[in-house]
C-alpha cells in the first residue's frame, strides 16, 4: 500500500439520493472509472478510493472523507486536478472541501519560491507591516499611458504595481512595449524616492509564449509577474516558478464558476492550497464586501490555507482585492493581519491624484 | 471602431437586483475594470462593452447581448477566455450562453485540423456510418495489460481506442511504455483484421511535458491523441494541434463546475464552440441518461455547436459517452446522426469478451 492522500467532500444529496452510493460513485469515478463488478480484486483494493468516513451534517448534507493512493496523481498537477475534480465536476452536489496532503505530494509540487518573506525582501516592507498592490488599467491605454500610471503609483510608494489581469497583448499596449515602459517608469520613480516598488507584468499567455514573456520580464529587470493559472492551466504556474525565478502573483480569473456553494472546489482549496502548492507567492482573491461574493469566513479560510504550516512549503501572501475602498484598508489589515497584501485599484484611480492617493493609503496603513 | 464580437448572456437576478445594472457591471468588469466615472470618453466609447439588448425571459431572468471590440481578446485564447468569463466567474447569476464570432477570431484560432472527414479517413469509416470509441482502463493496470485490452478492442473493430483520461503517467503504466505497447498492439490487430483502428494516447501533461508526449506519440505512429483542455489550459489544445499534426480528441474533465445552470458557460459554448475553436477534432461530452446530468437538449446543442457551419472551421465530431449502454448505441445514433462518435467503455468491459462485445456494437450500428 502506497502513500495516501485524503480528500474531504461535502455532499449535497438530492431528495432520495443515497449518500453512501454517492460516495462510492466518487471513489470509482475519480479512479478506475469502471463499475465495481468489472474490477480485479487487486485493482479494487489498491486504486479505488477508500471511504474513511461519512457523517450527516445537516438535512441531506454529508461530510465524507475518501483516501486515495498518492500514485494516482502521477506527480503531475494536471492529473492531481483531475483526481480532485475531473469527472465529478460533471456531476452535482459535490464540494471538494479540503485535502490532507502527504509530504510526498507537497515536496513534489514544491510551493512558493519566495513566499511572504521573499516578497518583503523584494519590496523592503518590514515584518509587521502590510504590503500594498495596485493594477495598471484600463485596457485601451497605450504603453506610455500605463507607464505614466506606474510611475505615479511608484512615486506614491505602492509596493507591487501589476498589470491588470485583462491587459495581455492587445495592440494598444503590446506586451514587450508595455513591459519595458512600465519597468523603466518604476525604476525611475524608485531612483527618485529611494523606494523599492516592483512592477509585475501579466505573463498570462498562450502555451508557446509563456516562456518568452517570462524571459523578457526577467531580462527587463522585473522580479515578479502576474499569472492567471485557470486561464493558462495550473501547471503553467508551477513551470513559471521553476523556469523563471520570478515571484509569482496568481489571479483568480475564471476560477469563480468552479467554486459553487453546493458543487465545486472550496475557495480555500483552490485559491489557497492549490495556488500555493503550484508556486504562487501571492494569491489574489475577491475580498468580501467588494464587487464579488465571498463571505468573510471564506476569506479567512483562504488566508489560513495560504499562510498556515503546510509541510515545508513557504507561506504565500493573501492578496484581497476586487473593489475595496482605500479607506477600509486598515480595517482589513486588522482583520487579516499584516502578512497580507492589500490590492486596491479603482479606489485609488477615483481619487484623481494617484501619487497622493497612494501615499495616503500607505500612511493609513502605518507605513 | 474595430471588429466586434457579441456575447449573449442569460442573467439570473437576485430579488431586487436591477438587470441593467448587472449588464453594465459585466460590460465594465470584462473590459476596463474601472467605474464608468473613472474613464476617459475615448476609452469608454471604444473598450467598454456595449449593451445591445436586454429582454426579460422569465421572472428575474433576462437575456442580454453585449458587443466587445475584438481586439480585447488580443488574438490569444487565454485572453479570450478571460474576456468571456474571467472576473465575472467570481460573480453570480451569469450564464455565458453563446457568442457571435467575427471571422477574424475564427481565423485566428483556426479550429480542427482534421475534423470529422479527417477522422473518417483515418479510421476508414465511410460517411453515413458512425465511428466508435472506447477507453483503456482501469488505472493500476500495467502497460502490457492495457495493451492487451487495446488489442482486444481493435480485433473487435473499435475505431478509436483511447487512454482513459485519468491514465496519465502513473508508475504502473508510464506514458512512454504504455504508448509503445498499446500502439503496437493496435497495429498488430490491424494487420490481422485488415482494419484501421487507431490508438489515441492521453497527452494531458504538465506544461513542459506536453511537447515531449506529442512528439513521442507521433514518432510511435499514432495519428491522434486525447487531451483534457481544462486541465492543461485551453490554449494547450490549440498549440498541440499546431505543433503535432495529430488529431485531437478533447475530454471535458474539470469543466463541469464551470457549466452551472444559473452561472457559468453553457455546455454548447464550452464543450462545443470553444473546444472546436481551439482545435478539437472530436469533443467528448457526458451523454444524457448516463452517469452525468446533461439534458438531451443540451446534448443536441453541443452537437450543433460542433458540427454546424462556423466560418471556415471544419466540423468536429460530437463524442457522447459517460456510462452509455452498448445496446443503446443505435438509439443515440438515430437521435444524433451518423456524424457522431459513440464512446462506450464500461458497458463493453462488463460483457467480459471485449472483442465479441466490440464486434456486436459495430454490427448493431450497421458497420
Q: What is the pTM of this model?
A: 0.97
End-to-end CA distance of chain A: 53
Q: Where are the domains of chain B?
A: 4-109, 115-364
Residues of B in Cβ contact (< 8 Å) with A78:
168, 204-206, 228, 231-232
Give pLDDT, residue B289.
83
Distance separating alpha carbons of residues B345 and B326, to the nearest angstrom: 9
Question: In chain B, whose CA is at the least distance from the CA of A91?
Answer: B292
What are the cell numbers at A53?
468516513
A342-361 b/e (C-beta count within 10 Å ≥ 16 → b) = bbbbbbbbeeeebbebbbbb
ipTM of the complex: 0.97
Q: Is B261 exposed, middle or buried (0-12, 13-18, 19+ CB in 10 A)?
A: exposed
How many angstroms from the chain centroid is the CA of residue B319?
9
On average, the pLDDT of chain A sits at: 96
Between A152-166, A195-209, A288-302, B173-187, the lowest mean confidence (pLDDT) is in A288-302
* Alpha-helix runs per DSSP H in B210-365: 210-220, 229-232, 234-244, 267, 275-277, 296-307, 329-336, 346-349, 354-364
- Give domain B4-109's CATH superfamily: RuBisCO large subunit, N-terminal domain (3.30.70.150)
User: Are B270 and B306 in contact, with CB atoms under 8 Å apart?
Assistant: no
**What is residue B59's predicted lDDT score, i.e. its pLDDT?**
95
In what order do the strands lie in the sheet containing B282-286?
B224-227, B247-250, B282-286, B317-321
Q: What is the pLDDT of residue A198?
A: 98
Q: Which residue has the cell 443515440?
A: B332
Residues B125 and B296: beta-carbon distance below 8 Å? no
Q: Which of A110, A116, A103 is closest to A279 using CA atoms?
A: A110
Length of chain A (residues): 367
Q: What is the pLDDT along chain B (367 residues), one digit of tens a residue?
A: 348 999 999 999 999 999 999 999 999 999 999 999 999 999 999 999 999 999 999 999 999 999 999 999 989 999 999 999 999 999 999 999 999 999 999 999 999 999 999 999 999 999 999 999 999 999 999 999 999 999 999 999 999 999 999 999 999 999 999 999 999 999 999 999 999 999 999 999 999 999 999 999 999 999 999 999 999 999 999 999 999 999 999 999 999 989 999 999 999 999 999 999 999 999 999 999 876 789 999 999 999 999 999 999 999 999 999 888 999 999 999 999 999 999 999 999 999 999 999 999 999 999 9
pLDDT at A289: 83
Beta-bridged to residue B265, according to DSSP, are B96
pLDDT band for A291, please (50, 70, 90 cuts): low
pLDDT at B89: 96
Cell triple for residue B22?
Answer: 448587472
Largest CA distance in chain B: 73
| A316, A306 contact by CB (below 8 A) | yes
Cell of A330: 486598515
Long-range CB contacts (< 8 A, 24+ apart) of B44-49? B46/A140, B46/B1, B46/B2, B47/A138, B47/A139, B47/A140, B47/B72, B49/B7
Tell me how far apart the alpha carbons of residues B97 and B94 are, in angstroms, rounded to a whole number: 9
Helix axes A296-307, A329-336, angle to 10 degrees: 60
Buried b / exposed e along A235-262 (16+ C-beta atoms within 10 A): bbbbbbbebbebbbbbbbbbbbbbbbee
Contact A232 B78 (CB under 8 A): yes
Question: Of A42, A258, A291, which is closest to B258 when you measure between CB atoms?
Answer: A258
**C-alpha–C-alpha distance, residues B273 and B250, integer Å:** 12
CB B80 within 8 A of CB B53: no
B87–chain A nearest CA distance, Å: 5
- Cβ atoms within 10 Å, residue A234: 29
H-run or E-run covering A187:
helix A175-193
pLDDT value at residue B2:
45
Q: What is the pLDDT of residue A323?
A: 81
Confidence of residue A2 (pLDDT cuts 50, 70, 90): very low
Angstrom distance (rounded) from CA B289 to CA A126? 59
User: Which of B10, B48, B140 would you mutate first to test chain A, the one with the most A CBs within 10 A?
Assistant: B140
Residue A283 to residue A320: CA distance in whole angstroms: 8
Q: What is the pLDDT of residue B141?
A: 98
B249, β-bridge pairs: B226, B282
Please tell me which of the candidates A32, A91, A164 has its beta carbon nearest to residue B293. A91
- DSSP, collapsed to helix, strand or coil, labels residue A78 as helix
Show residues of chain B in contact with A74, CB under 8 Å.
168-171
Residue A343 CA to residue A324 CA, distance in Å, equals 8
Task: Kindly provide the b/e burial profile for residues A33-60, where b requires at least 16 CB atoms within 10 angstroms of the residue's own CB.
Answer: bbeeebbeeebbebbbbbeeebeeeeee
CATH of span B115-364: 3.20.20.110
Q: How far is CA B138 from CA A136, A279, B133, B168, B170, in A?
A: 49, 31, 16, 11, 12
pLDDT digits (tens, 9 = 90+) for A107-159: 999 999 999 999 999 999 999 999 999 999 999 999 999 999 999 999 999 99
Cβ atoms of B360 and B152 within 8 Å: the answer is no
The closest CB to that of B32, out of A34, A39, A139, belongs to A139
Of A172, A207, A264, the CB nearest to B239: A207
**What is the rounded distance in angstroms from the CA atom of residue A68 to the CA atom of residue A50?**
7
Rounded alpha-carbon distances, angstroms, from residue B175 to A170, B66, B215, B248: 38, 45, 12, 17
Q: What nine digits make up the cell of B36?
A: 464608468
Share of chain A above pLDDT 70, in %: 99
Can you read off the three cell numbers belonging to residue A8? 474531504
The pLDDT of residue B291 is 66
B137 vs A contacts (CB less than 8 Å): 32-34
CA distance B302 to chain A (A): 15
pLDDT value at A1 more than 90: no
What is the reported pLDDT for B74?
A: 83
As a whole number, mean pLDDT of residues A198-207 equals 98
* pLDDT (0 to 100) of residue B1: 37
**Shortest CB distance from B74 goes to which of A168, A257, A292?**
A168
Task: Give A139's contacts in chain B (Cβ within 8 Å).
Answer: 31-32, 47, 72
Amino acid at each position: 500500500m502506497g502513500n495516501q492522500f485524503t480528500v474531504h467532500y461535502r455532499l449535497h444529496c438530492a431528495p432520495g439520493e443515497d449518500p453512501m452510493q454517492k460516495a462510492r460513485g466518487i471513489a470509482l469515478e475519480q479512479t478506475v472509472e469502471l463499475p465495481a463488478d468489472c474490477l480485479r480484486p487487486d485493482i479494487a483494493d489498491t486504486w479505488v478510493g477508500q471511504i474513511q468516513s461519512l457523517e450527516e451534517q445537516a438535512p441531506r448534507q454529508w461530510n465524507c472523507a475518501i483516501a486515495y493512493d498518492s500514485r494516482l496523481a502521477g506527480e503531475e498537477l494536471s492529473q492531481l486536478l483531475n483526481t480532485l475534480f475531473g469527472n465529478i465536476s460533471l456531476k452535482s452536489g459535490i464540494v471538494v472541501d479540503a485535502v490532507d496532503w502527504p509530504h510526498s505530494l507537497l515536496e513534489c509540487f514544491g510551493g512558493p519560491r519566495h513566499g511572504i518573506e521573499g516578497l518583503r525582501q523584494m519590496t523592503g516592507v518590514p515584518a509587521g507591516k502590510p504590503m500594498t498592490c495596485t493594477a495598471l488599467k484600463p485596457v485601451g491605454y497605450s504603453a506610455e499611458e500605463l507607464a505614466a500610471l506606474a510611475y505615479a503609483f511608484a512615486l506614491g510608494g505602492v509596493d507591487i504595481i501589476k498589470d491588470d489581469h485583462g491587459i495581455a497583448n492587445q495592440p494598444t499596449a503590446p506586451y514587450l512595449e508595455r513591459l519595458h515602459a512600465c519597468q523603466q517608469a518604476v525604476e525611475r520613480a524608485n531612483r527618485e524616492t529611494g523606494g523599492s516598488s516592483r512592477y509585475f507584468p501579466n505573463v498570462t499567455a498562450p502555451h508557446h509564449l509563456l516562456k518568452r514573456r517570462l524571459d523578457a520580464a526577467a531580462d527587463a529587470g522585473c522580479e515578479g509577474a502576474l499569472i492567471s493559472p485557470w486561464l493558462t492551466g495550473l501547471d503553467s504556474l508551477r513551470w513559471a516558478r521553476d523556469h523563471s525565478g520570478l515571484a509569482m502573483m496568481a489571479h483568480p480569473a475564471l476560477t469563480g464558476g468552479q467554486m459553487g456553494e453546493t458543487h465545486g472546489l472550496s475557495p480555500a482549496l483552490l485559491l489557497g492550497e492549490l495556488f500555493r502548492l503550484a508556486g504562487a507567492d501571492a494569491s489574489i482573491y475577491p475580498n468580501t464586501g467588494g464587487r464579488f461574493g465571498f463571505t468573510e469566513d471564506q476569506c479567512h479560510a483562504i488566508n489560513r490555507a495560504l499562510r498556515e504550516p503546510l509541510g515545508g512549503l513557504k507561506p504565500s501572501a493573501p492578496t484581497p482585492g476586487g473593489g475595496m475602498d482605500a479607506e477600509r484598508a486598515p480595517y482589513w489589515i486588522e482583520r487579516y493581519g499584516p502578512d497580507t497584501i492589500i490590492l486596491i485599484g479603482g479606489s485609488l484611480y477615483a481619487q484623481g491624484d494617484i501619487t497622493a492617493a497612494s501615499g495616503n493609503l500607505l500612511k493609513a496603513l502605518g507605513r
